[in-house]
Amino acid sequence: MGAIDLIDILKEAEFATGFTGEFASVASREALPREVPRRRLLLVLFALGTNMGIKRWPAPAAAAHPAGPPHADRGRDGALILSVPCLFNQQMTETDVDLGTVTAPSGTLVLGMAGWIDYWPQVGRPLSERARTSIAAGGGHLHGPEDSEPSAWMCEAIAVAAAADRPLRVRAQTSASPFDGEPTITVLEVDLGLPRLGPDDGEPVQLGDLPVDRCGMVLGDAQALDDFTGLDGQSTDGLADVTYWGKYEDTVHAQFGGDRIPQHPSGHGPRGWLDLPLVEAEAVAERLRTWTREGPGNGLMVSVDAHTDFHRFNRAGWSHPLLAGVIDLGGCPVLGLGWDPGDHSIRHHGERAHGQVYPATLEAHAGEAVLRWTIPPYDPDL
């Protein structure tokens, strides 16, 4: 009898038992089709269980797998299984993406961490006041609490002067994520609508650096962002969204209903209901939780997302390849940039505490000032 690869044994065990279905996401939403986390779980379990790790696992030869690419195998049910190295050896092709426009009627533009943007009053002066002070000195990095060491910083942002009377164009350059090959931002660039003193080829002005917030980033008028409602804020319109997902999703759908809600450019997402009054949303969620408690006990995740500004910009970005979405905040278009949790865990985990920070600069383009935030493409050797 010939030798059987361990990965094949693991795949057969999963096919017989479906054990990967017992793994539930800790996130508030699950945007990937079920087959994707199933495949990744098998690969990670194999790498950890054999002590082989990721980089030392050779990809199968192309001749052995005529039905798929050289780094692929097919499970017993025909599902494509990708080997781990393919996630780290994809060509990083840069592209340019137009993200639309924002405005800054106060003359003060801020790029900040979305998970903390409403927290500034709790660690010192309001964001707009801090930003005005910084711009009076030429613009730069803001952090809170103001008198603390970097390791204790919670709020961070970059503040710059911008034209108050016109839309400000926002662009991004992207490269493929090492996590799933999907595009992720490597350069964010904003036209500030103001003249830039000095030649176009002059040295960039260093404004500071920022980590990538796992909750995403937000770009907009500093005055408008003073009123931003964050993660734990109140609904801005008295409405909320209810979503559910997990092992018993199909069973719950048959009994309680709920539409498929695409939360990813692929069209995948959980089931649920959008735009319910808050009281109704909580009642619906409680019915699902009661069913779970009285039935299987676990295997179903339920989320109630009030229509905070944070949730609104996440929702606006569901269909965008970069999870980018624009919302109206105090009459100003504000750009939210979600961040894929898988890409964040590989490239930006630990954020400032682990040195994962990226420079923001003031530069010149065609004689006008440009804000640029540069996040180098992933390098597995660093």
Query: pLDDT at residue 37 above 80?
Result: no
Q: What pLDDT was estimated at residue 79?
A: 39
Q: What pLDDT was estimated at residue 254?
A: 97
Answer whether 141's CB lies under 8 Å from 251's CB.
no
Q: What pLDDT was estimated at residue 206?
A: 93
Q: Rounded to two decimals, what is the model's pTM?
A: 0.76
Q: What is the 3 state secondary structure string of 346-380?
A: HHCCCHHHHCCCEEEEEEEECCEEEEEEECCCCCC
**DSSP result, 189-230:** EEEEEEE-SS-TTSPPEEEEEEPPPTT-EEEEEHHHHTT---
* pLDDT, tens only, 54-71: 444 444 333 333 333 333
Q: What whole-number distance in Å separates Cα of residue 338 and Cα of residue 315?
A: 10
Q: What whole-number distance in Å separates Cα of residue 208 and Cα of residue 373?
A: 10
Q: What pLDDT was estimated at residue 22?
A: 73
Q: What pLDDT was estimated at residue 94?
A: 52
* pLDDT, tens only, 244-278: 999 899 999 999 999 999 988 878 899 999 999 99
* pLDDT, tens only, 169-192: 999 999 988 888 889 999 999 999
- Mean pLDDT on 308-317: 96
